Amino acid sequence: MEVAAKISHTSALILQTIGSGYVYGFDIMEITGLPSGTIYPALRRLERDALIHGNWENKRSAFGQERPRRRYYRLTREGKDTLSGALRRYPLLSQLAPAEKETKPVRK
Amino acid sequence: MKPPSIRALLWQCTVLLRLASLIVPKAQRQEWYQEWYGEVWHWSHFLVESGRLNVQTKFELAQHCWGAFPDATWHRFNQEKVRRSVRSTQRSPSFCLVSIVSVLVFMFVASGFVPTIRTGFTPLPYYQPERVAVLSFPDHYVYHPDSALFLLVPHWSRQSKTATAMAAYSLRFAMVQTDEERSAVPGVLRSPDAFKIPSARVSPNFFEILGVKAAVGRVFRSGDQTECPDCLVLTDKVWRERFHRDPAIVGRRLWFSGTESTVIGVLPPSFSFLMPETAAWALPPSADDIADIGDHIGAVLRLGPGVSAAQAEQELRSRSSVALDHDTPKVAMMISRGQQAARIYLLFAVLALLGGLALFSTRLAATRVQRIKLSAREVTRWWAFLLAKVLLAFATCFVFALEVCGRISIVLTGSIQPLVGALSTWLFLVLSMAALSWCFYDQTRRCRVCLKRLSNEASVGTASYLLLDWWGTELVCSDGHGLLHVPEMQSSWLEEEQWIHLDDSWKPLFEQDHAVTR
């Protein structure tokens, strides 16, 4: 797939992390070990290219707990296809795969 | 109530995030800040509540906040946007004009602020220049023996009722050497021809008629032909460049055409005659030797008050036609080089313009027909841009032809050769034709509305059907104003180029960015 062929190793790692259920910036940073200056621009690019979709946490649940809302990311269908292509392209990437997160945040 | 440690931590982070948010475009700023603030809020609370807040975690949090700056910068100047912006700028009409102006300015600076043009546009450095005329023989001026002229001109002068005084001149190349240069072994460093410079032999009253005085020493005067036959007058340029402003130049002995001569003066820097490159001025040889050949011969006339060049020509034509082997003399008023250049270059510019119009008349006519739907302002803008481009291109060609030819001549031969004048004029014609063709071509490849250069060139039809080529090409305005169809040949697909105006309903297609680049 042409799109998958263009994806970088870092982007593939981020996609895989999101796919494993780590869905907000801080979580992704913790898992991948990449700095915030790398993670966030990469998230912007992936979202721009429709490989991930970001949406805000439900207002009610956040404000009910007196905390700001977080932005959660999830893989789109194209993102999933791209990730499977990237895993074929980078065989060692699967060894870096984080364990699936057990508790996923509440979506709106 | 937040504990003081969290408040301080959050305050520090907020300051950094607020600063970084200033980089983000205003439309995205609020959302961008909310996401970052949410992350930092959760992280700092987690650190405090889990008791893991220490120097190292604080440092990590600070690092995280500093990461907001690259992210904010990406929003403002992401690579793709910058690339798109550069591409868009390159296509804009202002970029086109600025580029031509830059080339023009570069040539101004590189040529030392156009010395040739500046000299050309200064007024003639003569006394009452409106009464100075030149007699020439345009039918037969190459390699003409000047012996007869130096003998006849004083005779004509005495008989003339239209001219108060006349002096003959003969322009040619002559070898000018110092003693050291003459005694040096020829061919070791420079060939003897390297010492040949444009020079002139003139009647003793030549400078007197022009009303020119020397800057150093003196110029020729009546009686010098017998008192000082081997005297030499140099131009300021030769004195400056070859003799390094030698203060003892007057009286210095030089070899002029194999004769030992004495320098008696240096002309003022502003002085120039027909061939401004003429560097050394001497008197005609004695009557016994007078059988020399001049490249360009003639006479300078000081006309009587109110006498025109035509009257002087009429008077002189009968005498000179008999005396100078049926040559037709021509008398013309001396005009400044600026005026000469203006006339010649204006003529050539008009020729180039006519040639260009002949080449592109069908395209321009077609363009006009297709522009019916445009507003008067857009039509004016379109023509104003073409005019500005053409004028700037002409100015660039003018500076290039005039200044560069002279420079090349100096580099190759050490002086500005007489051929340079004609060469630069023809070079101007060729360059301006090329520049004009480019201007018209560029204009037809621009959007009729925004004047941006059309992009996304696509071949249309079937390859190899038409002389191994496609049927034509389609181009599109990046802002979605329209499409241009260009046939490969006029009969291949369309009769001529066709501009299709796209209405506002097409706009969203051109606003979206579908590029996938990571």
* Domains defined for chain A, CATH in brackets: 2-92 (1.10.10.10)
Mutate to test the interface with B, among A15, A29, A40 (most CBs of B within 10 A): A40
Q: Which of B44, B33, B63 is nearest to B4 (CA)?
A: B44
Residue B413: the pLDDT is: 64
Residue B372: the pLDDT is: 53
A22 CB-near residues (< 8 Å, 6+ apart): A28, A30, A31, A98, A101
For residue B347, being part of any structural domain is answered with yes
Q: Is the pLDDT of residue A19 over 80?
A: yes
More confident residue, B134 or B185: B134
More confident residue, B430 or B361: B430
For residue B70, being part of any structural domain is answered with yes
Token pair, residue B115, equals 């010395």
Q: Is the pLDDT of residue B322 over 50?
A: no
Q: What is the pLDDT of residues B422-442, one digit of tens each?
A: 788 888 889 988 998 899 889
3-class state of residue B134 by DSSP:
strand
> With contacts defined as CB-CB under 8 Å, which chain A residues touch B517?
6
Q: Is the pLDDT of residue B389 over 70?
A: yes
- Look over chain B and give the mean of its residue pLDDT values, rounded to a whole number: 80
Mutate to test the interface with A, among B6, B47, B57, B518 (most CBs of A within 10 A): B518
Residue A2: the pLDDT is: 46
- Determine the average pLDDT of the residues in B281-294: 68
> With contacts defined as CB-CB under 8 Å, which chain B residues touch A3?
516
Q: How many CB pairs under 8 A join A and B?
A: 73
Domain final position from B335, B366, B385: B335
Token pair, residue B307, equals 């006498």
- Is B296 found in the same domain as B222? yes
What are the distances in angstroms from CA A49 to CA A43, A44, A45, A57, A76?
A: 10, 9, 6, 22, 10
Q: Using the beta-carbon criterion (under 8 Å), do A67 and B517 form an inter-chain contact?
A: no
- Is B203 found in the same domain as B316? yes
Return the DSSP state at A92. Answer: G
- Note whether B239 and B246 are within 8 A (CB): yes
B120 confidence band (pLDDT: 50, 70, 90): low
Residue B494: the pLDDT is: 61
Q: Which long-range contacts (CB under 8 A, 24 or more apart) does B419-423 make?
A: B420/B277
- Is B415 found in the same domain as B326? no
> With contacts defined as CB-CB under 8 Å, which chain A residues touch B516?
3, 6, 49
Distance from CA of A50 to the nearest CA of B (A): 9
Residue B21: the pLDDT is: 92
- Is B358 found in the same domain as B321? no
- Is B369 found in the same domain as B325? no
pTM of the entire structure? 0.54
Q: Which residues span the domain enclosing B45?
A: 4-77
- Is B300 found in the same domain as B183? yes
- Is B461 found in the same domain as B399? no
- Is B302 found in the same domain as B207? yes
- Is B156 found in the same domain as B33? no
Distance from CA of A6 to the nearest CA of B (A): 7
Domain final position from B422, B444, B466: B444
Indicate the pairing of strand B482-487 with strand B498-501.
antiparallel
Q: Interface pTM (ipTM) of the complex?
A: 0.74
3-class state of residue B466 by DSSP:
strand
Q: Using the beta-carbon criterion (under 8 Å), do A35 and B45 form an inter-chain contact?
A: no
- Is B268 found in the same domain as B173? yes
More confident residue, B132 or B466: B132
For residue B252, being part of any structural domain is answered with yes
Residue B232, classified by CB atoms within 10 Å of its CB into exposed (0-12), middle (13-18) or buried (19+), is buried
Residues B464, B467, B470, CA angle at the centre, nearest 5°?
Answer: 50
What are the distances in angstroms from CA B47 to CA B4, B54, B55, B276?
A: 14, 9, 11, 86
Chain B residue with minimal CA distance to A40? B71
Mutate to test the interface with B, among A9, A36, A73 (most CBs of B within 10 A): A36
- Note whether B466 and B444 are within 8 A (CB): no
Q: How far apart are CA B76 and CA B69, in angstroms?
A: 11
Q: Is the pLDDT of residue A1 over 60?
A: no
For residue B167, being part of any structural domain is answered with yes
For residue B91, being part of any structural domain is answered with no
For residue B44, being part of any structural domain is answered with yes
Q: Which of A72, A61, A91 is nearest to A17 (CA)?
A: A72
Return the DSSP state at B446. Answer: B
B416 CB-near residues (< 8 Å, 6+ apart): B276, B277, B406, B409, B410
Q: What is the pLDDT of residues A54-102, one digit of tens each?
A: 988 888 888 888 888 889 999 999 999 999 888 888 877 777 766 666 6
More confident residue, B277 or A11: A11
Nearest to A68 among B34, B65, B75 (CB): B34
Residue B159: the pLDDT is: 86
A7 confidence band (pLDDT: 50, 70, 90): confident
Residue B113: the pLDDT is: 82
Query: Which chain B residues touch A if contact means CB-CB below 8 Å?
Result: 34-39, 41-43, 45, 63-71, 74-75, 78, 513, 516-518
Q: How far apart are CA B220 and CA B225, in angstroms?
A: 9
- Determine the average pLDDT of the residues in B301-313: 88
Q: What is the pLDDT of residues B48-73, one digit of tens each?
A: 888 888 888 888 888 889 989 988 88
Residue B191: the pLDDT is: 60
Which range is most confident: B192-201, B258-267, B325-334, B454-463? Answer: B258-267
For residue B88, being part of any structural domain is answered with no
For residue B273, being part of any structural domain is answered with yes
Residue B42, classified by CB atoms within 10 Å of its CB into exposed (0-12), middle (13-18) or buried (19+), is middle
Q: What is the domain count for chain B?
A: 4
Chain A residue with minimal CA distance to B80? A45
- Is B133 found in the same domain as B60? no
- Is B330 found in the same domain as B367? no
3-state SS, B236-288, equals HHHHHHCCCCCCCCCCCEEEECCEEEEEEEECCCCCCCCCCCCCEEECCCCCC
Residue B145: the pLDDT is: 64
